[in-house]
Chain A
C-alpha cells in the first residue's frame, strides 16, 4: 500500500516497519539545542553520560536564537555553558549573531528535503516547508539523541487538507494560515501529520510555505507538508548552490486518516485575538482598536519577502507617534539581503526599530513585551495570555502589522493599496 510523506521519510530512517500507530526507532540526521533548553541538555548529558563521546558530533548543533545577544546574566551564563560543551566535543555553534536556528539550518543546507531533524524548539516542524521531518522536543529527548543518534516515535496518522480557491494581496499566506486555524482549530490535526493540497498552497513560494508550516504547531499537528514543485526546489538549491537532496512526495495511493476541504475564496485579512491562535476574526471586525507595540519577525514571518512587504506599505510614511514598531529579520542572510536591497534604510526613515536576527519578540525575548492594558500586534505564532506580558497580543500578517503601524490602530492593508 502507498505511503504518506512522513511515512516515507520515516521508512528511510528505520529498520522497523512503518505504519500509523506503531512505535518505531528513527535515526535522526540533525540534532540541535538552543540557548533555551541547551543548558539543560548539557546538564543532563554530563550527569548521565559523564565524559563519554556523542554519537556523531558533526550532526549536532547549538543555535543561540531565543535571547540573542543575551539580555541578562542568566542567558549569558546559559550560552557560555553550551559554548564550553560545544568546544569540548567539537560541536558547531551558530552563535547569537546567526538568527533563528531552524531557518539557519535550512539556509546552510544542513536541514534539507527528506532528512529527519529535531531540536529544543517547538516550531522545529517548520522544516516541513522544505519537505523535511522536524520535531521540537524537550531537553531529555534531545540529550538522549545527542548520545545515541536515535529515538522512539509513534508513527502518526496523516490527514489531508485540501485548499480550494485562491488568495491575492493584501491577503497573504499568514491570512490563509490563520483562516485554516479558524476552521480546524486544534482538534482536526492534533497529533497528526498534515499534507496540504490545492493550487493556492502548491503555488506558494518558500517563504509562504514557511509561514503555513510554522503554524502546524498551533494546529496541534506533528508536521505539515506541501508537495514540492520545481520552483521551490530551486529556491532550496539557491541557499547553498548544491543539489544534494531528494524530494519526497506521497504515493498516489497513500492512506489518509481523514480529509477536509477548506474554501478560501474571498477571504479578507485575518487576525487572531487572545487567548488562542485559532480565535480568528476578519481584521475589519476589530478595526480601529488602538495599538501600542508591533513586532514583525519570528520564524513565522521573518523572511526577506515578509519585510519587503512591510517596507512597501510603509514607504514614505511614518510610524504613528507613540507606537513602537520593531522589525526583526529571521537570519543574518535575510538581514544582508535587506541591506543590499536598501530596505533597512527605508524602514529606518519610517521610525521603525530594526533589531539583529533572532526570535526577539517571541517568548522571553526583549521585543514587543506588553504592560497592563497594552495592545500588541505580532506576526509570530502564539497569543496565549501572559506570554508577552500583561497586555493583549494579536497575531497578524506583516501587511496588517505595517498598515496598523501607520495609523496606530488595527487596520487592514487595503487602506494603503
Chain B
C-alpha cells in the first residue's frame, strides 16, 4: 500500500484564551498519567487533550482527517506512546508544530503519524481553515486564506517508515 504524500484537511489551532498557540504542551496535558494503564488504542482517543485547559472535549469535536497546528516544544515530557496513539485513534492526519519534544517526535515518526516542523515566526491559519500539506516538499498551503508556508519536509527515514506504516514494518522489509 502506498500512502498519500499530500493530504488535505481542516486545521485545529491549539490556542489559549487569547488566541495564541500554546507552547510546551506536555504529555500529561495530552494524555494524563491516570490513564496510562490503557493499552487498547481504540480506547485512547477520548482522553486526547483531556488535561489541557479549554481543550478537554477535543475528542468530541475532532473529525477524522483533521490536522493539528501547535506551537513550540509540543509533546514535551514523558515517553508515553499513548500521547501519540490517542491522535491516531481519533484519525488526526498530521501534526504541524513549531517544534516537538525529542521523544515525542520519534514516537510520531515511528508510529507513522505524519509530522512537520514549520518556522516559529509564521502563522498557518485559524481553526477551521482548510490546508493542503505536502510531506515530500514540506509545503503547506492554506486554501482558505491562500497562504504558503514552507516547513521542513520528511527526512528519508521518516518517509520510509511512513510508507511502511510504522517502524516495525519498516524493520521487516
Contacts and interface: CB of A to CB of B under 8 A. Distances in A.
Contacts of A23: 155-157
A48 B103 CA distance: 22
Interface string A214-232: 0000001010000000000
B99 A191 contact: yes
Contacts of B168: 44, 48, 140, 143-144
Nearest to A223: B102
Nearest to B105: A191
A364 B107 contact: no
B39 interface: yes
A148 B171 contact: yes
Interface stretch (A131-139, A168-176, A307-315): A131-139
Contact of B77 (A43, A191, A382): A382
Given A74-B37, A138-B80, A220-B73, A144 B26 contact: no
Given A138-B103, A140-B107, A220-B76, A364 B34 contact: yes
**Max count, chain B CB within 10 A of own CB: residue among A135, A143, A220, A276:** A220
Contact of B79 (A74, A122, A144): A122
Contact residue range for chain B?
35 or more
Interface string B92-116: 0000000111110111001100000
**Max count, chain B CB within 10 A of own CB: residue among A43, A276, A382, A386:** A386
A384 interface: yes
A186 B166 CA distance: 29
Contacts of A386: 28-29, 32, 51
A302 to B, nearest CB: 18
A191 B102 contact: yes
Nearest to B120: A187
B36 A190 contact: no
A363 B34 CA distance: 9
Nearest to B172: A48
A301 interface: no
B84 interface: yes
Given A220-B101, A387-B28, A140 B81 contact: yes
Contacts of A363: 33, 78
B167 A154 contact: no
Given A122-B77, A136-B103, A187 B157 contact: no
Contacts of A122: 77-79, 103
Contacts of B103: 122, 135-138
Interface string A10-53: 00000000000001000000000000110110011000100000
24 contacts: A23-B156, A36-B80, A40-B39, A122-B77, A122-B78, A135-B102, A136-B78, A137-B79, A137-B103, A137-B107, A138-B103, A138-B106, A140-B111, A140-B167, A143-B168, A144-B168, A144-B171, A186-B76, A222-B102, A276-B24, A363-B78, A364-B33, A386-B28, A386-B51
